[in-house]
Amino acid sequence: MFLNRLVLIIALLLSITDMCFAQNNDIEGLVLDHSGSPISGVDVSIYNCTDTLQRLKTVVTSRSGRFVIESTKEFSDCLSASLSHLGYKSVVLQKIKRGQINYFILEDKVKVLDELVIVSERPMVKIEEGALVYSNHSLGKIAKSVTSAYDMLSKLPGVSIEKGMLSLIGMPSTTLVINGRKTLMPYDQIVTKLKAISPEMVEQIDIRYDAAPELGSTHSSINVVLKKTPRGKYFQTDFNVGGAVSRRTTTYGNFTINANIKSLSVQAHYSYTNENYLTNQSIWGKSEKVADFSELSENNTQGNFHRAYLSFVYPISSDSKQQLGFVYNVNHSSSDGNISGNTNLGDGKKNVKSKIENNTNASNHIIDLSYTSPRLTMSLQGMSFHTEKISLPSLTEHLVPQFLNQQVYRGGLTIDYNQPIKNIRGLRIIAGEYLRTSTVNNEIQQKATSSHGVKSRDIEFYNKTYFGADYTITKWLVVKGNLIYDLHIDRWIHDEEENRKVSRLYPTASLTLRLPKRNTLMLSYSSELRDPAYWQLTPGLSYISELTRVQGNPSLVPSQMNSLRLTWINKGKYITQFFLQNTKNHITQQLYIDPQKHTATYHSINMEMNRQWGLMTIIPLNLSNNFDLRLTGTLFYLMDRGQLQNIVFDRTKLTGRVAVNMNYSPIKNISCYLDGYYVTPMIQGIYDVSSLHNLDLGVRWFIRKNLSLSLDVQDLLRGRIPTTRANLGNQNYKFTLDNDTRVLKLALQWTLGEMFKKSKVDIKKDRIGI
């Protein structure tokens, strides 16, 4: 039944696509600026050459700078077009042709008064197709002070990075994609890939608070769009080397090759990282039937990480609109950790010392085959992931050797389709299908040589089908809506077999209202089902120390999040957002101290409800051409409800966050930045978390145009180390995790390769494609 359904969907989409490409008499155009970047929101008016007073039709260019006008009986053989956009010189009655792409390059509007130059101010952010779009103008100054595409994200308004996870403020998690492509690649590998991409390679960044099922997101997403390599002869190599010094030293190096071999575009990348870090954990607690106890532990970890990917893109049509792609990613890591602990069990008992040696090896392979066209995108992906971990405790009789073996196999098929409706101007239908199947095998043995242990298998099938529409009713009003169907079938085989089936049909919607003077109002509703991570589903215990361990929970169910957000952009730069978010079965990790004995266990649980509403405002201050300052303030009201073991909790808290981001260029080839934030105390389940603060400083020196040196200091004041307390029911404890947050980083970037000069024609065609 599954295969029949899949074949029917593919046949239907292909048949619609054939009808779509059969139309070839329409008027198509692409509008660019002088650098070759597409310009959206340009008014395009069509006239007959014989009557230039009678306007036949007017359209607005899309975010990719394109426009398509259907031919009618009123159109003569000779046609002309006029183009206008705020901040650019107008194009008046330029002749155009049917059946081919017409190219237009708009020049910046500049007025010269004596020696004073006045340039029309471009907006810091635009809303295009439901996304907040940051392009060359707003990203240029950020790119000068950072060393990777990933570092750029944390400097965007409303984006935060906490505990290595990037998210939009007010959202529990955010989908991160590159070039709008859904992938089976784990989140950490997407981050690693972005860290290896130079900021100069970023074309634009799209932030969405509404549903974008074509990006694999039904709540919020960040799409990093990279620049396309020029057509024709091209070769470039980027080298990056650097190190980070805290209490330990980490070094890394990587290179990326971009090349064109005739019509074939090739990208190859390899990176190596030698990680060394130190983590100190302290726990103090009071139990009902025993005296006070405490534990100090130290975790020294060293690892080697190898990552590589190879991608090919080959156009199969003369205009490069249809492309075939192939991507192969491989990751391999090996790490050794030594955890030493000193546990005070109270009651005058002798301290217990413990030591655990951990050895972990992991490998991951992903293959992606794709077909892309303006109307249809199809992708077939496969992934394998294998982890082996051996834990060898000593100096204690309580902990025993343990061997973990986890194997994950996953396959997926993605189909996304969009079709403008011929007879209804501004209406576009979108539809898609995402099919995924996974098998996860877990085996935990008490001894590496034992043939007996805890084994489990999780077999999963996931289906997401969506159907929706984008309707540009007028130039100032855009409505979007999607109807999404999720089906999740899970079979977990442990001591006995458990089956779970979850299906859900839900809508998502957004409305964008464009007002005069670059004011925009957007209302969006989104929803999401989020699966637990593999490590959270793993059964059995893994030991951190004599007292502390981590307990997996194979019974976790996906969380369900609903979000409503109102966004107001004033004058193209001042942003205000009101948000309300409710998550059912929220997945979180909580520490529980057993009142009967000295054990502290981290449990992954489904919290009944996590709700937050808040208000965020962003104020940018462009004090001069070389100095930018941005202030962000957020106010939250948090509510957590759930149960941990026998403790039922229902808690609320009002908290806030203030952030400042500054970029300054004292001279042309030097750029500096300062980033900081302060967060008031908050709650997380049964936890009370102390306040947080952070201060980052950095400078980047362009020795030559293709050679730069950067120096960064992160968490200068060591404020990202909170104290977490619990005083609820029979839980009375506090703990801290002291990571290497204060870090000094030094990095060298070098771009090697001849940058071939592009002609005017090349510049115009450089943005064609997907």
Residue range 657-713, pLDDT digits in tens:
999 989 888 988 899 999 999 999 999 999 999 999 999 999 999 998 889 999 999
Measured CA to CA, the distance from residue 636 to residue 657 in angstroms comes to: 8
Measured CA to CA, the distance from residue 312 to residue 20 in angstroms comes to: 27
E strand map for 594-626: 600-624
Q: Is the dihedral of CA 189, 191, 192, 196 positive or negative?
A: positive
Q: Return the higher-pLDDT residue of 152 and 540.
A: 152
- Partner residues linked to 431 by β-bridges: 417, 467
Q: Where in the chain is the domain with CATH 2.40.170.20?
A: 234-359+392-402+413-498+518-753
Q: What is the pLDDT of residue 287?
A: 63
Q: What are the tokens at 599? A: 């054990």
Q: Which of 212-226, 406-420, 561-575, 680-694 has the lowest mean pLDDT?
A: 212-226
Give percent of the chain with pLDDT exceeding 70.
86
Cβ count near 19 (within 10 Å)? 11
Cβ neighbors of 205 (< 8 A, separation 6 or more) are 133, 134, 139, 152, 153, 156, 222, 223, 224, 225
| Range from 115-124, 161-170, 500-509 that averages highest in pLDDT | 500-509
Q: What is the pLDDT of residue 6?
A: 47
| Mean pLDDT score, 552-560 | 84
Summarize pLDDT for 292-335 with one digit per residue, the tens.
778 888 888 899 999 998 999 898 987 777 889 999 999 999 99
Q: What is the pLDDT of residue 268?
A: 92
Q: What is the pLDDT of residue 545?
A: 75
Q: What is the pLDDT of residue 758?
A: 40
Q: What is the pLDDT of residue 596?
A: 76
Residue 251 clears pLDDT 90, i.e. is over it? yes
Measured CA to CA, the distance from residue 11 to residue 433 in angstroms comes to: 13
Summarize pLDDT for 699-715 with one digit per residue, the tens.
999 998 889 999 999 99
Summarize pLDDT for 465-501 with one digit per residue, the tens.
999 998 888 878 888 888 888 888 888 776 677 787 8
Q: Are 253 and 237 in contact (CB under 8 A)?
A: no
Residue 290 clears pLDDT 70, i.e. is over it? no
Measured CA to CA, the distance from residue 654 to residue 637 in angstroms comes to: 5
Q: How far is CA 87 from CA 32, 33, 58, 516, 521, in A?
A: 13, 11, 19, 15, 22
Average pLDDT, the chain: 81
Q: For residue 756, what pLDDT band results from cuts at 50, 70 and 90?
A: very low
Q: Which of 4-8, 165-169, 343-347, 433-437 has the lowest mean pLDDT?
A: 4-8
Q: What is the pLDDT of residue 320?
A: 75
Summarize pLDDT for 358-407 with one digit per residue, the tens.
889 999 999 999 998 888 999 999 999 888 888 877 766 666 777 888 89
Look up the CATH number of domain 234-359+392-402+413-498+518-753: 2.40.170.20
Q: What are the tokens at 662? A: 């500054």
Cβ count near 759 (within 10 Å)? 9
Q: What is the pLDDT of residue 127?
A: 72
Q: Which of 198-202, 348-352, 511-515 has the lowest mean pLDDT?
A: 348-352
Q: Are 407 and 434 in contact (CB under 8 A)?
A: no
Q: Give the pairing type, strands 692-704 and 352-372.
A: unpaired
Residue 222 clears pLDDT 70, i.e. is over it? yes
Q: What is the pLDDT of residue 328?
A: 94
Q: What is the pLDDT of residue 613?
A: 92
Q: What is the pLDDT of residue 261?
A: 85
Residue 592 clears pLDDT 60, i.e. is over it? yes
Q: What is the pLDDT of residue 118?
A: 40
Measured CA to CA, the distance from residue 476 to residue 743 in angstroms comes to: 47
Cβ neighbors of 557 (< 8 A, separation 6 or more) are 500, 502, 532, 585, 606
One-letter amino acid for residue 7 of the chain: V
Q: How far is CA 496 from CA 145, 500, 537, in A?
A: 56, 13, 16
Nearest Cα neighbor of 37 from 97, 99, 85 is 85
Q: What is the pLDDT of residue 452?
A: 56
Class of domain 125-226: mainly beta
Summarize pLDDT for 387-400 with one digit per residue, the tens.
888 887 776 666 67
Q: Please say whether the structural domain 25-105 has been given the CATH code 3.30.390.30.
A: no
Q: What is the pLDDT of residue 730?
A: 84
Q: Where in the chain is the domain with CATH 2.60.40.1120?
A: 25-105
Summarize pLDDT for 67-116 with one digit per residue, the tens.
888 777 788 878 889 988 877 888 887 888 877 778 888 887 654 444 44
| Mean pLDDT score, 598-627 | 88
Q: Are 438 and 186 in contact (CB under 8 A)?
A: no
Q: Where in the chain is the domain with CATH 2.170.130.10?
A: 125-226
Summarize pLDDT for 169-181 with one digit per residue, the tens.
767 678 888 888 7
Residue 748 clears pLDDT 90, i.e. is over it? yes
